[in-house]
Structure 1
Amino acid sequence: MSSEPISGNHRIILFLLPFLCLIVHSYSQSDQLQILLKFKSTLQNSKSEVFNTWHGENLICNFTGIVCNSDNLVKEINLSEQQLAGTLPFDSICSLKSLEKISLGSNNLYGTVSSHISNCTNLQYLDLGINSFSGELPDLSSLIQLKFLNLNLSGFSGSFPWKSIENHTNLTFLSLGDNPFDRTPFPLEILNFRQLYSLYLTNCSIEGRIPEEIGNLNLLESLEISDNYLVGEIPVGITKLTKLRMLELYNNQLSGIIPVGIRNLVNLAEFDVSTNNLEGDLSELRNLTRMESLQLFENNFSGTIPEEFGEFKFLTQFSIYDNKFTGELPAKIGSWADFEYIDVSQNFLTGPIPPDMCKMGKMQKLLMLENNFTGGLPETYASCLSLLRLRVSNNSLSGRVPDGIWSLPNLGMIDLAINQFEGQVAPTIGQAKSLSQLFLANNRFSGEVPAEISNVSSLVEIELISNQFSGEIPSGIGNLKKLSKLHLQDNIFSGAIPESLGSCVSLNEIILAGNSFSGQIPATLGSLPTLNSLNLSGNKLSGLIPASLSKLKLSLIDVSNNMLMGPVPQGLLIVAYNGSFAGNPGLCADGNKDLRQCSPVPKKSDQLKVAVYCFIAGALLLVLSLSCFVFLKFRQHDHKDPIYRSHSWDVKKFHVLNISEDEILKSLKQENIIGKGGSGNVYKVVLGGGEQLAVKHMWKFVPESGGRSSAAILPKGKSRWPEYEAEVAALSSLRHMNVVKLYCSISSEDSNLLVYEYMPNGNLWDQLHTYQKIEMDWNVRYEIALGAARGLEYLHHACDRPVIHRDVKSSNILLDEEMKPKIADFGLAKIVQTGKAMNSTHVIAGTHGYIAPEYGYTYNVTEKSDIYSFGVVLMELVTGKKPVEPEFGENRDIVYWVHNEMRTKDDVTALVDPSITKDAKEEAVKMLSIAGHCTMKIPALRPSMRMVVKMLEEIEPNSLTDIVIDKMGENVISQCKS
């Protein structure tokens, strides 16, 4: 074997080669360092400490979250769930040519994704899910090596670029759900991804039919395409996906039966086809023994529950409510695994309640209302310590309730209404420390309500209607500070209504009708700040009606058929209906046609005496008036009257303005009132210098509901009205063009004034829904929506401590002279304490029609509740309708109506206010889509306010852009002339 001698040049090259490699390597390291430091600089507002290791003195491969390959080139960026905020510089990131993985999910990244992402040609793994991006996704066709793509809940909108990924046949994981994409037919490009094991397309506006060919994706283990606009039958092709563990198709418009052959999916553990129009029986599911979660509710299924379900040894969740099932439940159902809940409500099921569903001690919810179950409550549930909700109302159950049921420590609701239960409520109920709702109406319960119930401080509602309870109401009931409803009508209660009931400060409804209560009506009821309905009819009450009841803001009062006497307080006559005081012969009222007169008409023989008395009284009154006039004149210069004494007012200024409290006080006249609400009157005040202000006047002793009270005035600075303090705390430090400006607060011993900037165009509610409304074109409506969103974004994201408004509604969006919006009325606001969980309350704050659904079961106060309410405002702006209208149907609101119409109607533009011009209707529909995302039932699916602002900015009307350009042109011309 021959070889040529190595030349001198070659020797030099071989000698220099290691040094050349070192230079190239050093250059590469320097480039990578600069790229990563630029990446870090775009996220400098992050609260995370993840970048502590990212500095020039450290090797880049030792940076937290960075993984390098064997050549020390960056291979992976792993920074998910690191509280990162900011935009992504894909122009530099994609210069890392060896980059195969970007994992940035579950942060707060925002902005658009630039087309430079197409330079990441070696990328195999991309996770941008659960962020706040905006705009459309760019072309992804060059990312041909992608195996993992997660964009779930990332904020992207517009049309998803399906064509650009049709050749990405290496994809094994694809998640695009929970984004406000444009509606699109089922993307057939998916059928090319034969390597997929997980596909998540829930809530991303897919419509039409599921193609039969989906059965060709035979490696799928998880298929989720719920909450879309899918129609037609479930394709038989799905039965070929034998590796499936999860199949979720809920909240669509699917019809037909469960396809024959689905029994082949023997690995299926989670099956959810709830909220569709499916029918037929469940025979195809009887052999799916690995089932863990079975959700079939809100369909038209019928037939019996297969007996085999009782042998499912992994089943933990079973929900089939609102169907047409008949027959009995399998006796062993839920007895094998750590069973969590069952909901079979609103069917036609019969037979006994299966006894062993809490056998493993993990069951949380037993929901079986509105069926035909018989027998009693099995004794086994008396030891089910994990139970949170027990609802078996409207069945044919009977017998005694096991004593242990009453004292279960975690049970929040006991609903046994409309059955034939009998016996007594056990004294052990005093140990039920979590119980908030007790519904026992329409049964055969008897005996006294145990005194121990007063120890259950968590109680919010008590309904014992139509039973055989007797004895007195426990005297300690005043301990129940959260109690809002007390319904005891149609029993055999007797004795006096306890005075302590006036200490239940959250009471909204008291109904004690149809009993044998005696004695007087407690005057303490007049101090209940939120009482709205009082029904004491059909008892044996006597004496006078307390004058204190006039202070309540009642919508209903009924004290008919008692033994009351004396004059009816004038304030109650205003809210009474015709029969409110009937059946009380001793009652009287002057000027009321339904009651006898209190003052008899004088006889002619007495008229002279009356005239003499009147003359004497008039003369005395005249003398007294003259004396008072002289006295006041004499002391006028001293201003000794308390309301004018300047030294009795405490002024706190938050903005620079020359304000005199005397000038404001003198303007608080009836003719200057521009608004009235639960918090107090609002006056328009014009200062001597011409400044216009709005002044809200509140009395300190007014309770939280805004009702009147006779409570004693507290010392200076110790207001008894939390709304005043909340509003001052929330507004005093806020500075934003879309939040109403609070100039100052003025406080005295008995009164509070809040001085705001004046908004000449009133509020959005009046402009949309009342006789004061004006024609608002789409540009004005859009600007109001965007401005209000920016105000809320500021409250949620820009304040040192986030502010949750809790009463976002159109009447709390004020409009200035240019129709620019400002968020107002912070009386219910909550300021989130640093490092603490957000507050929760058992008193629902907010206004009907705007209240988020989670209030009904969690009472949680979060920024997501504000976002729901703002979504309702967007719906008002687009449709012109109020949050609650008769046309929506009984117990329905605008959210239900809009979601339903958008799901079922082909022409969504029909929802838009007819006064909006035709060329703007498409833009209005886009805003309606944003409103739909804001009002999702699940709070986590709602966007942040930052994301809402971004989405609204994306749909800016073209005419607004033209206006901006025109103004820019005018400015240029004027500058040239000058």
Structure 2
Amino acid sequence: MLSRTISTKLSNCTSLQYLDLGMNFFTGVVPDLSQLSQLKFLSLNLSMFTGRFPWKSLRNLTRLSFLSLGDNPFDKTPFPLEILNLQYLSSLYLSNCTIEGRIPETIGNLSLLESLQLSINYLVGEIPVGATKLINLQMLELYDNQLSETLPVGLSNLVNLAEFDVSTNLLFGDLSELRGLSRLESLHLFENNFSSTIPEEFEEFKYLRQFSIYTNKFTGELPAKIGSWAEFEYIDVSTNYLTGSIPPDMCKMGKMKKLLMIQNNFTGRLPENYASCTSLIRLRVNNNSLSGRVPDGIWSSPNLGITDLEMNQFEGQVGRNIGEAKSLAHLFLANNRFSGELPMEISNASSLVEIRLTSNLFSGEIPVTIGSLNKLSKLLLQDNKFSGAIPESLGSCVSLNEINLAGNSFSGQIPESLGSLASLNSLNLSGNKLSGVIPASLSSLKLTLIDLSNNMLFGRVPQPLLLVAYNGSFAGNPGLCADGSKDLRECSPVSHKSCQVKLAMYCFIAVAVVLMFSLSYLLFLKLSKIDRKSPMNRGSSWDVKHFHVLKFSEDEIVRSLTQENIIGKGSSGNVYKVDLKCGEQLAVKHMSSAEILPKERTRWPEYEAEVAALSSLRHMNVVKLYCCISSEDSNLLVYEYMPNGSLLDRLHTNNISMDWSVRYDIGIGVAMGIQYLHHGCERPVLHRDVKSKNILLDEEMKPKLADFGLAKIVQSGKVMDSTHIIAGTHGYIAPGKLLYAYVITKVKTIYFNIYLRVNYKFCPLCLSQISGAVLYL
């Protein structure tokens, strides 16, 4: 590679026809080139030239057919009009060389151009109609600029175009001008504002190999035969509003490497054809409404590096052939309905870096052979039905930095071997049945988060762990103690023998107390049979429909519905706080009893709407509905408990200030929740009553949308169970209901804006930033 500056003596080479100084490390400016009038080929790209390029020199280089000046940090300049005189030019590369302004209409005068590349500049305005005269163009790249408006009329004239890339601009409109470009091999339109449907003609593009349209607003279905003719390499249609099924034949020629369809509304099964697509290296279809079993060959695909099926309704088991997936690094299956045991063969997938199985129905034990996964950095199995002991071999996964096994039924002791995981910084074993003492070996870890709450641990908490713990890290373990901790009892300096005696005494007292309370409770039940106001006395049997893994029974819920546990009252009934034996807390809404309803109805619309709306929702900003419990004349809804109450309480009734960063985070969280309701579900849900009273706050002040009693579900362009009665709270009523009997989801953001302006009116910056998020609702 050459360096330093170019001598001005270069201008003496008046007979020079070919000059290639590209890909070097020159300094300074490009000298005057006007004397090199015989030049046909000039390449200076990627050579670190600076300053102002001598554009006027080009007036004399009329023989040029190839000009490449890109990837140099020249001074910013408008499009150099001198180039328009180069009538023999067939290839022009000016990408990434600081050109600003508009592309001139007269670009069409360069009639011999076959390649035009102006990407990564500061170009604005529309793509000129003059460009449609360049009928010899085979490559047109304008990506990463600020071009706007629609695709120019006449673009269909470029019938020889093979590569078209206008990604990362501000373009909008439809793709009708591309219908006739049947020679396209590569089409990139991502990160714009295009809308409408994908033209059916695209399925007849027999040379198409690359198709990327992610982050737009496309709707409708993908053409069924798209990608089935040529050696199709990849498709990325993520973050649109596409529906229907996944085209089945895109790997027909066996060359497909990437199938990316994240965050759309695709339905149906994953086509069986992709089970034999051994060329795949990335499969990502998360955040759709796909269902059924995963084709068996997907699990063992030899080149797949990432399998991402999260946020769908897939079911069945992980195939035992997953051990054959030698390239698999990321296995993402969270928020589905997968079940069964994690196969032991997964330990043979030696490239695994991350396993994310959160919120499924997996059961059984973690394979004891998991220690062979020495590249594994994250093991996230929370909210499943796993049981048995945590294997000691987990300590052999030397790269682990995050373990989350919360919300399962693991038992036994915490393995000592976890203390040898030098890279571990997050350990969450909460909500299990773990017992014994906390291993002292954990003290050597450099943890930033530890949560061992709601287990059956006892003994002294190692002092180093107290330094990284938060208030609830060890809650729900009555046997734990610590010195100098305000959240745990003090440890008593007693002998081992004394501890055994005291433990026996405590057990005896506990058994006696339990028996006494049991007898008292039975007596209370007998005496309270005549009390018809208690919801637990009216139904002879309970019907439970659960939507998450439950750690409680209906009897435990019903017994807690007493007067002293009422935390709220509404028009449809009372809300109770329930403390479970395991240490967790729930909120239970008891809908009005049958005695105050017409005799022919035992369930009323708010109850059915809330169950229908929440039963299938899975989002961090939507309150979790664990189950519904009903009898002949009582209806109960069991939710997660929100310790910080509603946003209304925090803003108006409590003497607790909220800084603007917290309010900002709450606004963003509510916006993400509404976006999920409108576009992230199989059937969009319209809340219809978003207000501060219906926004609940968890212990970390994260917002969750609640009270779906007025919600409606949209399906096939209709709103289920529509009514002509205006629904919602005055000031927050969905504007769609004021005009039509059916509600349109896009209208819902209007009254969310009302909520924003009410709660953020004194922070214009917060309001403007959050309002930006509303555009995507």
Give the TM-score, by structure 1 length. 0.50
Q: Which residue number in structure 2 is paired with residue 109 of structure 1?
A: 2
**Maintained 8 Å contact 2:84/2:109:** yes
Which of 391, 412, 437 is matched with 1:498 structurally? Answer: 391
Q: Which residue number in structure 2 is paired with residue 367 of structure 1?
A: 260
1:438 equivalenced with 2:306 (yes/no): no
What pairs up with 1:3-22 in 2 under 5 angstroms? Answer: none
1:579 equivalenced with 2:472 (yes/no): yes
Which of 272, 280, 304 is matched with 1:411 structurally? Answer: 304
Q: Which residue number in structure 1 is paired with residue 96 of structure 2?
A: 203
Q: Which residue number in structure 1 is paired with residue 427 of structure 2?
A: 534
Query: 3-state DSSP class of the match of 2:2?
Result: strand
State the Cα distance separating 1:246 from its structure 2 match: 0.2
Give the TM-score, by structure 2 length. 0.63
Q: Which residue number in structure 1 is paired with residue 349 of structure 2?
A: 456
**Maintained 8 Å contact 1:167/1:192:** no
1:131 equivalenced with 2:24 (yes/no): yes
What pairs up with 1:310-709 in 2 under 5 angstroms? Answer: 310-599=203-492
Query: 3-state DSSP class of the match of 2:60?
Result: coil
Aligned partners of 1:515 and 1:374: how far apart in 2? 30
State the Cα distance separating 1:601 from its structure 2 match: 11
Aligned partners of 1:338 and 1:571: how far apart in 2? 58
Query: 3-state DSSP class of the match of 1:238?
Result: helix
Aligned partners of 2:18 and 2:493: how far apart in 1? 92
Name the aligned partner's letter for residue 50 of structure 2: S
Provide Cα deviations, 1:145-182, integer angstroms capped at 9, x if missing partner.
Answer: 11110111112111111012222111110000111111
Aligned partners of 2:61 and 2:298: how far apart in 1? 58
Aligned partners of 1:440 and 1:133: how far apart in 2? 51
Name the aligned partner's letter for residue 548 of structure 1: S
Provide Cα deviations, 1:417-451, integer angstroms capped at 9, x if missing partner.
Answer: 00000000000000000000000000000000000
**Maintained 8 Å contact 1:199/1:220:** yes
Q: Which residue number in structure 2 is paired with residue 306 of structure 1?
A: 199
Provide Cα deviations, 1:762-813, integer angstroms capped at 9, x if missing partner.
Answer: xxxxxxxxxxxxxxxxxxxxxxxxxxxxxxxxxxxxxxxxxxxxxxxxxxxx
Name the aligned partner's letter for residue 453 of structure 1: I
Aligned partners of 2:463 and 2:220: how far apart in 1? 59
**Maintained 8 Å contact 2:35/2:60:** no
**Maintained 8 Å contact 1:325/1:347:** yes
**Maintained 8 Å contact 1:198/1:220:** yes
Aligned partners of 2:226 and 2:434: how far apart in 1? 52
What pairs up with 1:569-968 in 2 under 5 angstroms? Answer: 569-599=462-492
1:224 equivalenced with 2:101 (yes/no): no
Aligned partners of 1:148 and 1:600: how far apart in 2? 88
Query: 3-state DSSP class of the match of 1:572?
Result: helix
**Maintained 8 Å contact 2:242/2:265:** yes
Name the aligned partner's letter for residue 126 of structure 1: L
Name the aligned partner's letter for residue 364 of structure 1: K
Provide Cα deviations, 1:177-228, integer angstroms capped at 9, x if missing partner.
Answer: 1111111111111111111000000000000100000011010000000000
Q: Which residue number in structure 1 is paired with residue 174 of structure 2?
A: 281
**Maintained 8 Å contact 1:349/1:371:** yes
Counting matched residue pairs gives 498
Aligned partners of 1:160 and 1:500: how far apart in 2? 64
Name the aligned partner's letter for residue 339 of structure 2: S
Name the aligned partner's letter for residue 222 of structure 2: L
Which of 271, 279, 288 is matched with 2:164 structurally? Answer: 271
State the Cα distance separating 1:134 from its structure 2 match: 1.4
**Maintained 8 Å contact 1:268/1:288:** yes
Query: 3-state DSSP class of the match of 1:318?
Result: strand
Name the aligned partner's letter for residue 303 of structure 2: N
Provide Cα deviations, 1:210-266, integer angstroms capped at 9, x if missing partner.
Answer: 000001101000000000000111101000000000000000000000001000000
Give 1 or 2: higher helix fraction. Answer: 1
Query: 3-state DSSP class of the match of 2:219?
Result: strand
1:180 equivalenced with 2:73 (yes/no): yes
Name the aligned partner's letter for residue 224 of structure 2: A
Q: Which residue number in structure 2 is paired with residue 55 of structure 1?
A: none
Higher radius of gyration, 1 or 2: 1
Aligned partners of 1:128 and 1:581: how far apart in 2? 66
Aligned partners of 1:504 and 1:555: how far apart in 2? 19
Which region of structure 1 is more displaced relative to structure 2, 593-602 or 456-465? Answer: 593-602
Name the aligned partner's letter for residue 590 of structure 1: D
Aligned partners of 2:390 and 2:494: how far apart in 1? 36
1:235 equivalenced with 2:113 (yes/no): no
State the Cα distance separating 1:600 from its structure 2 match: 6.7
Superposition CA RMSD, Å: 1.3
Aligned partners of 1:576 and 1:533: how far apart in 2? 11
Aligned partners of 1:165 and 1:138: how far apart in 2? 12
Segments of structure 1 that go 5 or more residues without pairing to the other structure are 1-107, 603-885, 891-978
Name the aligned partner's letter for residue 130 of structure 1: M
Aligned partners of 2:326 and 2:475: how far apart in 1? 41
Aligned partners of 1:118 and 1:468: how far apart in 2? 75
Provide Cα deviations, 1:74-116, integer angstroms capped at 9, x if missing partner.
Answer: xxxxxxxxxxxxxxxxxxxxxxxxxxxxxxxxxx111110100
Aligned partners of 1:134 and 1:281: how far apart in 2? 45
Provide Cα deviations, 1:466-492, integer angstroms capped at 9, x if missing partner.
Answer: 000000000011000000000000000
Query: 3-state DSSP class of the match of 1:430?
Result: helix
Segments of structure 2 that go 5 or more residues without pairing to the other structure are 496-765, 771-777
Aligned partners of 2:314 and 2:429: how far apart in 1? 26
Name the aligned partner's letter for residue 356 of structure 1: D
Aligned partners of 2:442 and 2:286: how far apart in 1? 35
Query: Identical aligned pairs, as a percentage?
Result: 78
Query: 3-state DSSP class of the match of 1:166?
Result: helix
